[in-house]
Structure 1
């Protein structure tokens, strides 16, 4: 499922909105959980506004994220 289409966030209470969850990998489930976390959302908005060079490393370490590239 990774890279194709994300699970819908429109109606997270609807079982039919998550018909692809059986094909989800652990990273997909972790992302769906994390992106709904209010503290993560607040931190992410703060990170977006940040102009500090070390902010990305701090953000990645705090949330256990890795970015390949």
Structure 2
């Protein structure tokens, strides 16, 4: 995870151009349950397609690639 100082106004500059999907990703990637599930998924097979159950649980979709890894 990138270094983020929530107290610094500079840390929010990128978010001025963010859309709903960008905000959703920022929330998801900070979720400890998602991070645990993702680590477990990587431990199973780093190059395997993302399990449909994982994508469904976390509301993930990949445009044009239903089997794309996370």
Q: TM-score, normalised by structure 1?
A: 0.73
1:12/1:29 CA distance change after superposition, 3 Å: farther
Figure out how many residues of one structure are paired with residues of the other and give that number. 61
Unaligned stretches of 5+ residues in structure 1: 1-7
Runs of 4+ off more than 4 Å: none
Kindly provide the CA deviation profile for residues 10-61 of structure 1, in whole angstroms up to 9, marking residues without a partner as x.
124122111121210100000011001100000000111225x796101000
Paired residues for 1:37-52 under 5 Å: 37-51=31-45
Q: TM-score, normalised by structure 2?
A: 0.72
SS of equivalent residue, structure 2 residue 51: helix
RMSD: 2.3
SS of equivalent residue, structure 1 residue 43: helix
